[in-house]
Structure 1
Amino acid sequence: MSQKAIGVIYALALLLPGIATAEQASLPVAEQHFTRGNAIAMDRMMTAMHLPSSGDVDTDFVNMMEPHHQGAIDMAILQLRYGRNPKLLRLAQEIIVEQRQEIDAMRLALGRPLLSPSPLPGRQLVLQTAPIHYHAESRP
């Protein structure tokens, strides 16, 4: 699937927030946003991991692991937005930092430039799936 087609699919997912399965519609709003954001993150990760072989094992490893780690970052951000468990919120923060460091280490190992310092370079789509909802139990 081309990058343009993938972009169109994601754009439609954002433009049609009222369309949901009956099962999703019965979930609390925050859970609906989490579920939709997680599906987008997983689809994006899986699509980005399906690459033709470069002919070099090291390059192929990094080319597949980078989107895998970015998927973990995207899912951790969703946990920070919608989760309530303080231990899991701390773990999500750690995942963001550690996965980002591992992406940087892999890129450096291949002599590639580092990406921007943001944990989501070019990945704002997951963050735009819904407004942020803060839970009184875990937020100021």
Structure 2
Amino acid sequence: MAAAATSVVAIAFVSAGAPARAAGTASGGPEAPFLSENDQAMTRMMDGMSIKPSGDVDRDFVAMMIPHHQGAIDMAQAELRYGHNEQLRRIAQEIIVEQQQEITAMRLALGQPLPPSAPAPDQGQAPSRAAPSQPMSIMTTPMPMRMNQETK
């Protein structure tokens, strides 16, 4: 269910957001690095989801869903680099953890090997104003996340 909802959001973002992204990037405004990075993430996601059917529905599902989930991770990382709203930044962190866990679960369900673990990007750094040339490495091992804790 969550994957279907995420697909609808991604499709809506691609179709409705494309002119806004292009205009924001072309204008060179303060949002341009974020929009550029998001556009790159969406392009990688859509390219990755275009697969040649293998004849195995389960493998094809996973082959399409992993790039979809990675796209969500990449967009959430862009929010962490450029966004300022703390509530949205927390949601972005949750998206990263949840999508990584789902990628791991899908790979395990098919008996696929997991990629080697990599350190999570340092979200404590000031946002970089230049979009990275390569996607950031992410941690592929599920991380427990404490939810609904009150801050003091």
After TM superposition, the score normalised by the length of structure 1 is 0.67
What aligned pairs does 1:41-80 form with structure 2 within 5 A after superposition?
Answer: 41-80=41-80
Shift of 1:125: 1.9
Q: What is the CA RMSD across the aligned residues, in angstroms?
A: 2.2
Change (3 A) 1:81 1:23: closer
1:117 aligned onto 2:117: yes
Structure 1 segments (4+ residues) deviating >4 Å: none
- Residues of 2 paired with 1:80 and 1:98: CA distance? 15
Conserved? CA contact 2:62–2:107, under 8 Å:
yes
1:24 aligned onto 2:33: no
Conserved? CA contact 2:24–2:35, under 8 Å:
no
- Residues of 2 paired with 1:51 and 1:41: CA distance? 17
Shift of 1:24: 2.8
- Residues of 1 paired with 2:54 and 2:133: CA distance? 28
Conserved? CA contact 1:37–1:126, under 8 Å:
no
- Residues of 1 paired with 2:39 and 2:107: CA distance? 26
- Residues of 2 paired with 1:50 and 1:22: CA distance? 26
Q: Which residues of structure 1 form unaligned runs of 5+? A: 1-20, 128-140
- Residues of 1 paired with 2:85 and 2:29: CA distance? 17
Change (3 A) 1:108 1:34: same
Shift of 1:51: 0.6
After TM superposition, the score normalised by the length of structure 2 is 0.62
Q: 1:26-69: per-residue Cα shift (whole Å, max 9, x none)?
A: 3533x100000001000000001001101000000000000000
Q: Which residues of structure 2 form unaligned runs of 5+? A: 1-21, 122-131, 137-152
Shift of 1:115: 1.6
Change (3 A) 1:52 1:22: closer
Task: Identify the structure with bigger relative contact order (alpha carbons < 8 Å, sequence gap 6+).
Answer: 1
SS in 1 for 2:104: helix
